Amino acid sequence: MLERSLVELGYVGELYVMAKLIRDFNIVSVKVPQQFFSYDLITNNNKRLEVKTATTIRSSRKHPKKTYYSDKWEFRRNPRQLHEQACHFVVCVCFKSKDLSDEPRCFVIPVSELQGHSEVFMISANPKRKGEHKFWEYEDRWELIAKNG
């Protein structure tokens, strides 16, 4: 299995988002060597998108009689990305396997929904578990990017 660096994983996610949106939008990547932008892509309707890509990780919680395991995707935003005006949407590209062979799940999350979260936020890979469905209402909500305002 080919192990991808975090940078390569990020490029895969950005290219996937560009491929999803290219039919409806002109997309511009803002990657410039040695420069920081709080977003990765911008659409022709001036929506700034921050793309985050992850593969599942397994977490565990120990209780006196049993250990519970769950799979999740974990994302990190740096402090300069946490401001509400930094971008309009955080697009999370979530792969189940580390070899990226599966079709990813995508969540188009308005940045306003992430206000009050720390630099790290998670999405459960199993939305059916009680209390672990946060952000699942934004799965494949690409139409949000097309809205004005």
Structural domain tally of the chain? Answer: 1
Are β-strands 57-62 and 27-29 bridged in parallel, bridged antiparallel, or unpaired? Answer: unpaired
Domain limits for position 16: 6-144
Instruction: Judge whether 149 lies within some domain.
Output: no
Q: What is the pTM of this model?
A: 0.84
Instruction: Judge whether 95 lies within some domain.
Output: yes
Instruction: Judge whether 64 lies within some domain.
Output: yes
Instruction: Judge whether 1 lies within some domain.
Output: no
The domain that holds 104 is classified in CATH as 3.40.1350.10
pLDDT tens, the chain, 149 aa long: 566 777 788 889 999 999 999 888 888 877 766 667 778 898 988 899 999 999 988 888 888 888 888 889 999 888 777 766 778 999 999 998 888 888 999 999 999 888 877 788 889 888 776 556 789 999 999 999 988 65
State which H helix or E strand residue 17 sits in.
helix 6-21
Instruction: Judge whether 86 lies within some domain.
Output: yes
Instruction: Judge whether 130 lies within some domain.
Output: yes
